[in-house]
Structure 1
Amino acid sequence: MTPYFQGKLYRAKLAIVGDTTVGKTAMVQMFTSDGGKFPKAYNMTFAPEVVTKRIPIHNTEDSVELLIYDSPGTDLYENYLNKFWNKPHLLLYVFDSTNPKTLDSVEGRWVKLVSSCDWFHGRPTASAIFGNKTDMPDRDCTDDQGEAVASRLGSKYFWGSAKDNQGLDEVFYYLAEEFHKFSKRQD
């Protein structure tokens, strides 16, 4: 049953970016299904996908509906992502904590791609970096490394596991609440 919301509804575009196989789609599926839908087999995202989820804002009657843009991580779509995202309010960079190259790619490839977009001068309201796959025993990226990249980018760092549904609510709720704060100042 869908909860009834009485307060104001705000809508925010959230672009999720990162290399292939870092778990962006698994994160989105687990979060939007409230932990009930982890993909059992890997299926590469070949085209951008959009899903929505409404998030109640703590200590208010308001809610934020996130329009979550799950971006493919392949080079093939790189030229189209600017138009696909079309001025997102929020950004979530995802890396695989077992693969340091994916963290390097956040600061290199993905930040460069986002900052080259024609809308970037307006900057997103908030951004976060999520270190995924912390359930894996062969973790090669430390939280200190993730924190350092987040600090350089002016983002907040989170970590967790899409597979174990760990840390997902925290990052999505953080972004929704940051958008809510920004929107309330604009009202």
Structure 2
Amino acid sequence: MSSKLHNQFKIVLLGEGCVGKTSCVLRYVQNDFNNRHLSTLQASFLRKTVQVGNESVNLAIWDTAGQERFHALGPIYYRDSDGAVLVYDITDEDSFQKVQNWVKELRKMLGNDICLALAGNKIDLENKRIIGKHQAENYARSVGAKHFNTSAKQNKGIEEMFHCLAEDILAKKSRDLKTAGRSTGISIIDDSQVEKKSGCCQ
């Protein structure tokens, strides 16, 4: 059997206050939801290990504060991130505009080194939606991100979003490793190739 590599990826959640960042991560990690608003002060940290294909992936998820006074601390938390979840409230135009500012900052600081997922949260309030689905999806596509419609309250889209982001990060790391191998002249082979070769020699 092929050995399972243990990958550690850092994911940061960004977005305005009250958009549901904490609710999303608590639903994902602990399958828990609290109807009361939970304000994050500076940042909190949660960890979850998931299976992505044949790989065991350890996600270190940083939930950052959305209040304006904490925005200057953002770079401290996303500096070494492999992925980012940018959360906005589908009923709040300003929260969607602020997400676009975060994306610009992330791309400016980290370029394509970070994988992005946009979460249009609170789809349980669909009847109050202001941000159109196509509008959000087109924007996400324009910045190389994937868009997800989520509801922490109803547990919709959360698992899929984090899993897809982990897949994207893993795929990017694999591509980067192969690129590094080609540039140094070192051949990168995975366990499946080793097994096939060893099987032919038996």
Normalised to the residue count of structure 1, the TM-score between the two structures is 0.86
Aligned residue pair count: 174
Letter in 1 for 2:56: S
Between stretches 169-178 and 83-92, larger displacement belongs to: 83-92
Counterpart of 2:133 in structure 1 is 143
Higher relative contact order by CA 8 Å / sep ≥ 6: 1 or 2?
1
Following TM superposition, by how much is the alpha carbon of 1:87 offset from its aligned partner in structure 2, in angstroms?
A: 1.6
Work out the CA distance in 1 between the residues paired with 2:112 and 2:156: 32
Q: Which runs of 4+ in 1 moved over 6 A?
A: none
Following TM superposition, by how much is the alpha carbon of 1:164 offset from its aligned partner in structure 2, in angstroms?
A: 0.5
Secondary structure at 1:64's aligned position in 2? strand
Work out the CA distance in 2 between the residues paired with 1:154 and 1:82: 20
Unpaired segments ≥5 residues, structure 2: 178-187, 189-202
Deviations 1:63-93 (A, max 9, x none): 1111101111112122222122232010111
Q: Is the 8 A contact 2:11 2:62 kept in 1?
A: yes
Letter in 2 for 1:165: N
Asked if 1:114 corresponds to 2:106, the answer is yes
Letter in 2 for 1:50: F
Between stretches 156-165 and 136-145, larger displacement belongs to: 136-145
Counterpart of 1:132 in structure 2 is 121
Counterpart of 1:3 in structure 2 is none
Work out the CA distance in 1 between the residues paired with 2:90 and 2:113: 26
Find the partner of 2:166 among 176, 180, 187. 176
Counterpart of 1:92 in structure 2 is 85
Deviations 1:2-35 (A, max 9, x none): xxxx6111011101111111100000000001x2
Normalised to the residue count of structure 2, the TM-score between the two structures is 0.80
Following TM superposition, by how much is the alpha carbon of 1:173 offset from its aligned partner in structure 2, in angstroms?
A: 0.2
Counterpart of 2:145 in structure 1 is 155
Q: How does 1:49-60 map to 2 (within 5 A)?
A: 49-58=44-53, 60=54
After superposition, the Cα gap between the structure-2 partners of 1:40 and 1:179, relative to the gap in structure 1 and judged at 3 Å, is: same
Q: Is the 8 A contact 2:12 2:77 kept in 1?
A: no
Secondary structure at 1:135's aligned position in 2? helix
Counterpart of 1:23 in structure 2 is 20
Q: How does 1:54-73 map to 2 (within 5 A)?
A: 54-58=49-53, 60=54, 62-73=55-66
Unpaired segments ≥5 residues, structure 1: 1-5
